[in-house]
Amino acid sequence: MRYMEAKTQRSELTRTAIVGAALELATEKGLEALTLQAVADRIGFSKSGVFSRVGAREALQSAVIEEFGRRFLADVFVPAMARPRGLPRLEAIVRGWFARLQDAQAHAGCLFSAGAFELANREGPLRDLLAGEISRWRTALRRTVQQAIETGELKADTDAEGSFEFRVG
């Protein structure tokens, strides 16, 4: 039993390392440059070793988009939730967002904005996944703006819907 648990844990750690390396590559060169071979070369695996843990190229790209979304949430929203509702929380989100953008630009780029540009003319599940991640981010941001309106910290006529226009395509 312990052998299977250890094997499963190693497998998950390996998958996490693969997705992490793929995320670095995607932020440097773009989602379209992401290939199983490029990730394998980066971490010293065989292409089949990468495939056996994440699947085909589109599954790898999807895992990268999901991981970027998780990290974005952890870096930007989770710390802001400790702030009071309204303007303090909105300011914390915007500061976290800008800090993340500065860090991303220093190291490579923002997968949301770059991916939106890359996938703008491409239909399919990958574009839909990216659009969903961006939509989730925008919804949370709109909700925070709405809360700041409700607390009276922003003017009642503030346009919470149109304040953050960013979409795929």
Yes or no: say if 168 and 102 are a contact pair by the CB < 8 Å rule.
no
**Quick check: 106 pLDDT over 60?**
no
The pLDDT value recorded for residue 163 is: 53
Does 138 have pLDDT greater than 90? no
Domain boundaries, the chain: 2-150
Region 22-43: mean pLDDT is: 93
State how far the Cα of 24 lies from the Cα of 4, in Å rounded to an integer. 30
Higher pLDDT, 161 or 86: 86
Of the candidate CATH numbers 3.40.50.300, 1.10.357.10, 2.40.50.140, 2.30.130.10, the domain formed by 2-150 belongs to 1.10.357.10
Q: How far apart are CA 155 and CA 163, in angstroms?
A: 13
76-88, pLDDT tens digit by residue? Answer: 999 999 999 999 9
Instruction: For 161, list phi and psi in degrees, rounded to 5.
Output: -70, -45
* pLDDT of the residue at 89: 96
**Alpha-carbon distances, residue 143 vs 37, 67, 68, 149, 154 (angstroms):** 41, 23, 21, 10, 13
